[in-house]
Amino acid sequence: MTDTLSTAGIPMRWVGPLRISGNVATTETRVPIATYESPLWPSVGRGAKVSMLAERGIAATLVDERMTRSVLVEATDAQTAFTAARTINARAEELRALVRTCSRFAELIGIRHEITANLLFIRFEFATGDASGHNMATLASDVLLKHLLRTVPGISYGSISGNYCTDKKATAINGILGRGKNVVTELLVPREVVDGVLHTSAARVVELNIRKNLLGTLLAGGIRSANAHFANMLLGFYLATGQDAANIVEGSQGVTMAEDRDGDLYFSCTLPNLIVGTVGNGKGLDFVETNLDRLGCRAEREPGQNARRLAVIAAATVLCGELSLLAAQTNPGELMRTHVRLERDHTTAKDEV
Amino acid sequence: MTDTLSTAGIPMRWVGPLRISGNVATTETRVPIATYESPLWPSVGRGAKVSMLAERGIAATLVDERMTRSVLVEATDAQTAFTAARTINARAEELRALVRTCSRFAELIGIRHEITANLLFIRFEFATGDASGHNMATLASDVLLKHLLRTVPGISYGSISGNYCTDKKATAINGILGRGKNVVTELLVPREVVDGVLHTSAARVVELNIRKNLLGTLLAGGIRSANAHFANMLLGFYLATGQDAANIVEGSQGVTMAEDRDGDLYFSCTLPNLIVGTVGNGKGLDFVETNLDRLGCRAEREPGQNARRLAVIAAATVLCGELSLLAAQTNPGELMRTHVRLERDHTTAKDEV
Amino acid sequence: MTDTLSTAGIPMRWVGPLRISGNVATTETRVPIATYESPLWPSVGRGAKVSMLAERGIAATLVDERMTRSVLVEATDAQTAFTAARTINARAEELRALVRTCSRFAELIGIRHEITANLLFIRFEFATGDASGHNMATLASDVLLKHLLRTVPGISYGSISGNYCTDKKATAINGILGRGKNVVTELLVPREVVDGVLHTSAARVVELNIRKNLLGTLLAGGIRSANAHFANMLLGFYLATGQDAANIVEGSQGVTMAEDRDGDLYFSCTLPNLIVGTVGNGKGLDFVETNLDRLGCRAEREPGQNARRLAVIAAATVLCGELSLLAAQTNPGELMRTHVRLERDHTTAKDEV
Amino acid sequence: MTDTLSTAGIPMRWVGPLRISGNVATTETRVPIATYESPLWPSVGRGAKVSMLAERGIAATLVDERMTRSVLVEATDAQTAFTAARTINARAEELRALVRTCSRFAELIGIRHEITANLLFIRFEFATGDASGHNMATLASDVLLKHLLRTVPGISYGSISGNYCTDKKATAINGILGRGKNVVTELLVPREVVDGVLHTSAARVVELNIRKNLLGTLLAGGIRSANAHFANMLLGFYLATGQDAANIVEGSQGVTMAEDRDGDLYFSCTLPNLIVGTVGNGKGLDFVETNLDRLGCRAEREPGQNARRLAVIAAATVLCGELSLLAAQTNPGELMRTHVRLERDHTTAKDEV
């Protein structure tokens, strides 16, 4: 039913270097971005340049990590669902042991549930080493679900995935309960760099962030999101590093904050749902291996450390592009002028205006 | 600041053919999907096979199309913002004329606004021919905004984009007011095909759709979304056809509905925010041109018709993958078995479980 | 099946006066608040006092008004639903005439629709004079729906209300498309009043508003809402003036904005979904009539003007309570101290701590 | 600044009896509803009648209970916020002991946090006995916050409430993490009762629930909500029993599910955010005391049991009204006919149509 295998060659460039510090990595690195949108490269590049002019660069703090899968079971009634939920909680240790038999790397670190009518959603949370963990979590959940169906009275199969996970859908649960890496990035941009490189002021970036990212997204009916274009940087970075780029859907839900600190600009991007891995699907391709290697994410390290490094580099890349675009939008006409110029330079085709 | 240009070669296959009817195109076509997730190919392929076994195939109805950009202006106070909004409405014809000077293809077809405090968000809606229209809309909005700032009293520049557009963020506004193509796809699967090809029953698909897509997403705190994995198919199709794939963020907000019609399965996917174009960024690359050509989307047609054809093919592709996954999830263990088998066959690397 | 009629006597006080200006009313008035939460009275009272110390008081701008009801019809398929939607749009004038036969006051001012699968949601928008308009809109929609079912081919009855209205549910559609009155209130508080009456500074209120109302609500997964406690003031005002207080659900979705203007505090509350009426259910009761009369909302005026006046008074009352609470929360311990003191003074029972 | 105290006398009737079973109470009781919307009484009454015709009546399962308050602190940077969060978790036992010194009834049962930029939101979860617990939770949080500010390095006061609680705002967090009582109600209506009392069929209720409550609310941009009018019943019951009725904002976020079981109707309402108490504000008023007493919620019981009983009665009341309205809306014209008739009988004034 399927054709011969070929490839879609997405234009890719390395941008930077950018400077990173924090609880995962202290490094300076260039970053690969694969995109059809050529203005993205110089945009991230400008942010990267700013990061090199700040003493600590981008401080990236990894706050949490887990991969989740929610299964769905039907119970005889709500009381039976409730009893089942309590039974499952009480048997957490047994379930943890079961997961250890599925995989060298998967570890069951949490269980949450919610009952509606006679339906019980069970959300399993796993540590998954250097893998983003979709498959590992699904496999482990499959084993757990079979076991529960056999041993907990009054429940039957509903679904291996109840959309309460949530994978590749924009929801509130991932940010509140955790899914993927939760990374906070911060950059203190000296006043003269705000002026000289970003051509704006801290006060104007702060005001724009409030009005556009916080208020504008709210009025549009956004859900747990306040940023200008996290999705663009994530897509480019994900494609270049062999990630499942459909995870930009939840990855793009994050928050940009800015403060005017006596003319210096405190700028921060929080990405609570950043899903990355250095092993797994997409990782065997030559250019992916090369890119991960060049990013220092294929080193011999404790399991999970390569993925964490990749996460903070991804998050720092997001900050660079976000900062640059917001700065541009503080100036009337700048965005359009830049786009027109850059696309003339970089692209082979564009909107026929 | 940037490196030499290379490419990220995403694995790509043609899948199908699938059968489409409706108010845009009646056709049978194979579709290209570029992805790191190899199980996606046979999954879409199974849905495509089902579409060939239904008399009309997938009925795809294009319901709306527009591209939007919201600008933000600050007014002296709310009363001034309100007066400005009414002035802008009253001068719609003048603004339409102005847009016609920006582009051969852009046409201003609507204006909406919202006031909060002294801030006025103005959402311009455009027809953009065969382009997805991001750049065209931004350019036209830039011209409109400059004009308004010069001629409407009491307002000053806020932002060229107020996040009330909304681009690449999951919000409610795009579905309610329209952005991109709004396409409804429907497929009536005969009972014997539900059984023989999908290995399930209409009743079980209906039940799963209610519990997983409608209820599960709701409980997860989703926004205007009820589907299993629209994002996966959109990403693969977007990458293969030169689209800005970051638009899967809003594109993935859509609704799957299913009905049991005497054992036959009525299955429908509605994509209210489907952003595609056949000209513009990403379109000059050889493989993209080839793919668009093979899809019949580079023909000599009235402006807009190629993009509409591409939209209904994209939407039909989404339905194929959605139907196949839901059917699989009605059966305990099937998803995992299929993934394990397919990845063994297709991929070069996977999660080290 | 029901008992004899009695009454639940909710404690009520008049608070103020507060000063209002703007495009609906220029007035100074006390306002009635019925509540079990006694600290609400002095809280609103403090805001009212601040309004009297500002030259223009609270500027209240009415930006929009409409009442809505969405009906739901099932079509043969999506194409039929689409054709029906276009037919309905084309026959708007005929539908407007039909509505005029239902009521002296109802006027059909807009029609929106959305299609999902073979389902068509039609959202009728009405002007409803001085009534909040729930019943008027339902009656008119009932007539419209019957007429459409008789005259538009391929559609059948789904529901008289499709939850796309939306009544008493927190959604995004009411703010985006309009439902009830949309009122923006603004108050410029001189620096010395911020300090002397509110015991805080503009900068601290601004910072708290960003972090608590905009960011905190966002992180909690809020929808089109950024305020501290609009619901409290609305409930108290609604009960005292005979409103259907269940409309606080959508009424509480609104936005507080604050700016530090050289030490003066610009403070604004936008209520896009404020549903009030001066005729209709609840209005025949003696205390309600007295209260409406005392508020100047039972005068001989052009239809709609009394309700508009009531709306801006309601919105101004909300601002008073919101300002006071935010100011209190800028100071560690103040909220608790105030609550403890006030409840000792005002209430007959409280949490047994 | 405030007037003399008077009362707003909301019309009140007792409706029922309704039959309840489940893990909290087995009882038959009439319920008081205070409302300006007179059709609500017979609507709930019809549902109550149905509950008496089902063997077990309404099975009400209490699944969870807690009251929450989120404080907000500012940290030096994200790393400091992260360290503080871990410190707080590690000192949970100490904090629990501290809470026990604040109140005889409050118990700290959980702590959650979220970090954005350098801001740390800490959500404390409490058991609060028979009180709804707003004040108890605020008082305890005030003490906890002061203690943390003194003993955890690098953090300073942000707010006593960070809107991450969330009180009286419609968000996702309350349902996901829990706030108030979480009650699931279920009623199996025999086919002949569906037909004879509700004048509809199970299949039609199921279909309407999917299209209106699940899909319609979703399209409107709802958040964690799928019901017709929970808010109405909650408001009436809350006012009659001395509750803080502004909590209907989050209380109205709940889910109605229906199944056709061979012609019998399985009907369920899940209320995950049901905030009620039998002591505290509003409880000293004579009619409230009488009502609570008559509901059996002032008995000598273990602390918390009276509030739990009140919660399941409230939830059962919601089910009665929800069932009756949905049944009515399955029949074209019935809603309007009923409203017109009932309001003629019951009300003293209505919309002048």
| DSSP per-residue letters across C314-344 | HHHHHHHHHHHHHHHHTSTTHHHHHHHHHHH
Overall average pLDDT of the C28-37 stretch: 97
Question: Looking at residue D283, what is its pLDDT?
Answer: 84
Cα gap B25→B28, rounded to integer Å: 9
- Identify all chain C residues contacting B272, using CB atoms and an 8 Å cutoff: 114
Cα gap D246→C234, rounded to integer Å: 9
Which partners does chain A have (≥3 C-beta pairs < 8 Å)? Answer: B, C, D
Residue B215 has pLDDT above 80, yes or no: yes
Per residue in C296-311, pLDDT (tens digit) is 999 999 999 999 999 9
Mean pLDDT, 10 residues at a time, over chain D (353 residues)?
82 98 98 97 98 97 98 98 98 97 93 98 98 96 97 97 97 98 98 98 98 98 98 98 98 98 98 96 92 97 97 98 98 80 51 39
CB pair distance less than 8 Å for C221 and A223: yes
Report how many helices (DSSP H) and strands (DSSP E) chain D contains, helices first: 13, 9
Q: Among B219, B221, B224, whose Cβ lies nearest the Cβ of D219?
A: B224
- What element of type H or E holds A234? helix A230-240
Q: Where are the alpha helices (DSSP H) in chain C?
A: 40-52, 78-90, 92-100, 134-151, 173-177, 191-196, 202-208, 217-219, 230-240, 248-251, 286-294, 305-329, 334-346
Q: Among B172, B214, B221, whose Cβ lies nearest the Cβ of D221?
A: B172
HSE on the CB side for B90, CA within 13 Å?
7
For A351, which DSSP code?
Answer: -
Active site annotation includes B37: yes
Cα gap B237→B163, rounded to integer Å: 26
Angle at D220 between CA D219 and CA D226, to 5 degrees: 85
Cα gap C76→B321, rounded to integer Å: 24
Neighbours of A150 (CB within 10 A): 7
φ and ψ at C180, to 5 degrees?
80, -165
Question: Looking at residue D353, what is its pLDDT?
Answer: 36
Cα gap A50→A58, rounded to integer Å: 9
Overall average pLDDT of the B5-14 stretch: 96
Question: Looking at residue A342, what is its pLDDT?
Answer: 64
Q: Among D7, D216, D353, whose Cβ lies nearest the Cβ of C72?
A: D216
Transcribe B194-253 into DSSP letters: HHHTTSS-HHHHHHHIIIIIIIIHHHTT-SS-B-S-HHHHHHHHHHHTT--GGGHHHHT-
Residue of C123, C125, C173, C176 for testing the chain B interface, max B β-carbons within 10 Å: C176
Nearest Cα of chain B lies from the Cα of D214 at a distance, in angstroms, of 6
CB D342, CB D42: distance < 8 Å: yes
Transcribe B96-125 into DSSP letters: HHHHHTT-SS-EEEEEEEEEETTEEEEEEE
Neighbours of B139 (CB within 10 A): 21
- Identify all chain A residues contacting C172, using CB atoms and an 8 Å cutoff: 221
Q: Among C214, C221, C225, whose Cβ lies nearest the Cβ of A214?
A: C214
- In one letter, which amino acid is C19? R
Do the bridges between strand B180-189 and strand B264-274 make them parallel or antiparallel, or are there none, so unpaired? antiparallel
Nearest Cα of chain C lies from the Cα of A263 at a distance, in angstroms, of 16
Per residue in D249-279, pLDDT (tens digit) is 999 999 999 999 999 999 999 999 999 999 9
Cα gap D38→D343, rounded to integer Å: 6
Taking one residue from A and the other from C, the number of pairs with CB-CB distance under 8 angstroms is 46
Transcribe B14-60 into DSSP letters: EEEEEEEEESS--EEEEEEEE-S-TTHHHHHHHHHHHHHTSTT-EEE
Cα gap C164→C148, rounded to integer Å: 18
Residue B334 has pLDDT above 90, yes or no: no
CB pair distance less than 8 Å for D246 and C223: no
Overall average pLDDT of the A253-263 stretch: 98
pTM over 0.95: yes
Residue A123 has pLDDT above 90, yes or no: yes
Nearest Cα of chain A lies from the Cα of D117 at a distance, in angstroms, of 6
Question: Looking at residue D349, what is its pLDDT?
Answer: 37
Active site annotation includes B130: no
Nearest Cα of chain D lies from the Cα of A72 at a distance, in angstroms, of 16
Task: List % helix, strand, coil for chain B (3-state, nearest 5).
Answer: 40, 30, 30
SS (H, E, C) A88-143: HHHCHHHHHHHHHCCCCCCEEEEEEEEEECCEEEEEEEEECCCECCHHHHHHHHHH
Overall average pLDDT of the A244-272 stretch: 98
Residue A347 has pLDDT above 50, yes or no: no
Among all residues of chain B, which has the CA nearest to that of C79?
Answer: B61
Residue B22 has pLDDT above 60, yes or no: yes
Among all residues of chain C, which has the CA nearest to that of D163?
Answer: C216
For C179, which DSSP code?
Answer: -
Residue C353 has pLDDT above 50, yes or no: no
CB D166, CB D175: distance < 8 Å: no
Nearest Cα of chain D lies from the Cα of B105 at a distance, in angstroms, of 31
Reference D349, options C107, C140, C131, C310; nearest CA is C131
CB B165, CB B114: distance < 8 Å: no
Q: Among C172, C175, C221, whose Cβ lies nearest the Cβ of A176?
A: C221
Question: Looking at residue C351, what is its pLDDT?
Answer: 42
Token digits for C231?
């619901």
**Residue B161 Cα distances to A213, B100, B106, angstroms:** 10, 21, 18
Residues of C with CB under 8 A from a CB of A: 172, 175-176, 210, 214-215, 218-219, 221-226, 255, 257
Q: Is the ipTM of this complex over 0.85?
A: yes
Do the bridges between strand B264-274 and strand C27-34 make them parallel or antiparallel, or are there none, so unpaired? unpaired
Report how many helices (DSSP H) and strands (DSSP E) chain B contains, helices first: 13, 9
Do the bridges between strand B107-116 and strand B180-189 make them parallel or antiparallel, or are there none, so unpaired? unpaired
Residue C190 has pLDDT above 90, yes or no: yes
Residues of B with CB under 8 A from a CB of D: 172, 175-176, 210, 214-215, 218-219, 221-226, 255, 257
Confidence of residue A348 (pLDDT cuts 50, 70, 90): very low
Question: Looking at residue B3, what is its pLDDT?
Answer: 65
Output B131 or B340, whichever has higher pLDDT.
B131
Overall average pLDDT of the B105-134 stretch: 97
Transcribe C298-315 into DSSP letters: SSS-STTHHHHHHHHHHH
Question: Looking at residue B349, what is its pLDDT?
Answer: 37
CB pair distance less than 8 Å for B184 and C119: no
Residue A351 has pLDDT above 50, yes or no: no
Overall average pLDDT of the C47-54 stretch: 98
Cα gap A142→D302, rounded to integer Å: 42
Overall average pLDDT of the C31-42 stretch: 97
